Amino acid sequence: MSRTAETPEPGPAPAPCSAPRAITDGRPPELIPLPGGVSLRRRREADAPGLNAAVRTNLVHLRPWMPWADEAPTLQHSQEMCRAGEQVWDEGTDFMFVVGLDADPGSVVGAFGLHGRIGAGALEIGYWVHIDHTGRGLATAAARALTEAALALPGIERVEIHCDQANAASAAVPRKLGYRLDRVRDAEITAPAETGRNLVWIMDR
């Protein structure tokens, strides 16, 4: 799993003059089929129950690497996160997805995001996958699809994946996809298993 695919805790609405700047004028597809009967879909408020259940089920799996997994979220919190995700999509700053089973509408077996937090012309992929669905290539397939979608957006010249040096499973994803390891940088430790050494993987257009 890579840096969180959650959105920050929602706060007061910004004043019009301080509205976030869109990272791109385009938008990725809202539905991306993947191999094996699963799909990436734009995260909506209707996904809150499935997302909440998946997070609560996977807290032990997520807690070592995800700072937001220190306690079980309430359904209200998940609803707020999903609403915030819809807002940032519309603003063009972040694009939040869930992975669901095609045969089970509403299911959530993972969460992914394209995040505009690394500067102009770039998006960062964050992700986690339900423990019952790891080891099947799901993270790699979804990250490949999002890499292609991101680099097809106007103004996006590179995609990055960041993960802790100790997170071998997460680092395997960009390595399989042909990302280059650009650098290892010091980072604040925010989750129990982190080392404070962050791998920065890059794919250029």
- pLDDT value of residue 1: 74
- 149, part of any domain: yes
The CATH code of the domain that includes 171 is: 3.40.630.30
Q: Is the pTM of this model over 0.85?
A: yes
- pLDDT value of residue 13: 38
User: What's the rounded Cα separation, in Å, for the pair 163 and 152?
Assistant: 24
- pLDDT value of residue 61: 97
pLDDT in tens for each of the 205 residues of the chain? 776 555 443 333 334 445 678 999 999 999 999 999 999 999 999 999 999 999 999 999 999 999 999 999 999 999 999 999 999 999 999 999 999 999 999 999 999 999 999 999 999 999 999 999 999 999 999 999 999 999 999 999 999 999 999 999 999 999 999 999 999 999 999 999 999 999 999 999 9
- 45, part of any domain: yes
- 18, part of any domain: no
Sign of CA dihedral 159, 9, 56, 65: positive
- 2, part of any domain: no
Alpha carbon distances (Å) from 99 to 5, 23, 35, 119? 12, 23, 12, 26
- pLDDT value of residue 111: 98
User: Regarding beta strands 110-115 and 38-42, do their DSSP bridges make them parallel or antiparallel, or are they unpaired?
Assistant: unpaired
Q: Range of 129's domain? A: 30-204
- 90, part of any domain: yes
- 103, part of any domain: yes
